[in-house]
Amino acid sequence: DLLVSQIAAGEVVERPASALKELLENSLDAGSRAVAVELAEGGQKLIRVADDGSGIPGEELHLALARHATSKIADLDDLARVRSLGFRGEALAAIGAVARLTLVSRHASDPHGWAIRCEAGALSAKEPAAIAQGTRVEVRDLYFNTPARRKFLKSEATEYAHCEEAFVRVALSRPDLRFTLKHNGRLRWSLKPAEAAARIGELLGEEFIRASVAIDERAAGLRLFGLAALPTYSRGSRDDQYLFVNGRFVRDKLIAHAVREAYRDVLHHQRHPAYALFLELDPEAVDVNVHPTKSEVRFRDARAVHRFVFHVLNKALARPQA
Ligand code: ADP
Ligand code: MG
């Protein structure tokens, strides 16, 4: 029912950037190689995400917009080792409850694509549509039917900045994919498939690369790789702290603490260390099912993770620099 969906939407779709994040994650989960994003007016007027992923079979299109319908989790065992970024099946339904959403998709098994619309929770009948294999989701007029929420949106520039940040996180997490971002018709980012370090350089700047140590260590089922900036990198701000766990951007207090301790031990005065770090481990050793927006995780063996991150970083930062 619409009210419940609108309340759920408040958690999933806090602002345009949260809707964009969900759409991008769906494109990644669909195995896309290229993802094109277009925004208008900071995302409030329009968020369009087009991908070349698996697409959705015509007969399942309406399910994509149903609450708690996910194609990604079949049972509780799946939940324990979730690899996809989404698994709750509520993002599209939640967005559709508070916007005008159009979903156009074509699966390889269908001779042509299909389109379906959802406006303020009301679903249209599906219609045939011309589209190559993949999916295009358009979200227009976010919060047009919930003025109380619309009031909380900030300026276009601020909402755009949040959208760009969501885009950057996803683009960092998948350097192997092609991404573009347009805002109000202007091309802001055009990223070709690249090595991780090249992608980081493109997004965070060559200066960040020059002032960083490269990390890549494995031990006992854990791998940490990426770049950590030295104090010679002067532009370090809170915003340059990127941490990914199994490809998922996270804000994790435990790892953030281990990183801070490693920096403090070596560099004493680094207040806001800048880094782009990727931690990989067995999906069963980490619980991503903690919070609806999924930026928190819980580790089965938190102490081992803390120790590993601290030691790897500590060692890398202490290395004599060339
Ligand atoms: P979840 O990602 O948690 O499954 P969503 O509401 O985000 O839930 O999406 C619902 C379903 O719609 C997905 O499980 C997937 O089957 C389908 N879907 C959504 N976006 C895409 C896409 N870009 N490509 C292919 N399938 C998609
Ligand atoms: Mg999803």
Residue 287 phi/psi, 5-degree rounding, is -105, 115
Residue 167 phi/psi, 5-degree rounding, is -65, -45
Instruction: Tell me the pTM.
Output: 0.93
Cβ atoms of 114 and 129 closer than 8 Å: yes
Q: What is the pLDDT of residue 188?
A: 98
Q: What is the pLDDT of residue 237?
A: 58
Q: What is the pLDDT of residue 235?
A: 67
Residue 40 phi/psi, 5-degree rounding, is -135, 140
Does the beta carbon of 21 sit less than 6 angstroms from any atom of ligand 1?
A: no
Inform me whether the pLDDT recorded for 44 exceeds 90: yes
Percent of the chain with pLDDT over 90: 69
Residue 284: count of CB within 10 angstroms of its CB: 11
Q: What is the pLDDT of residue 231?
A: 74
Report residue 107's pLDDT band, with 50, 70 and 90 as the boundaries: very high
Does the beta carbon of 226 sit less than 6 angstroms from any atom of ligand 1?
A: no
Q: What is the pLDDT of residue 287?
A: 85
Quick one: which ligand is closest to 30's CA? Answer: 1
86 C-alpha to ligand 2 centroid (Å): 4
Interface confidence: ipTM more than 0.85: yes
Report residue 271's pLDDT band, with 50, 70 and 90 as the boundaries: low
pLDDT, mean of residues 206-221 = 92
Inform me whether the pLDDT recorded for 236 exceeds 60: no
Picking from 218, 214, 202, 240, the residue whose alpha carbon sits closest to that of residue 322 is 214
Q: What is the pLDDT of residue 90?
A: 84
85 C-alpha to ligand 2 centroid (Å): 7
Tens digits of residue pLDDT in 277-308: 999 999 999 987 766 665 788 999 999 999 99
Q: What is the pLDDT of residue 288?
A: 77
Pairing of strands 178-183, 34-40: parallel
Tens digits of residue pLDDT in 61-104: 999 998 776 776 666 676 666 667 766 678 999 999 999 999 99
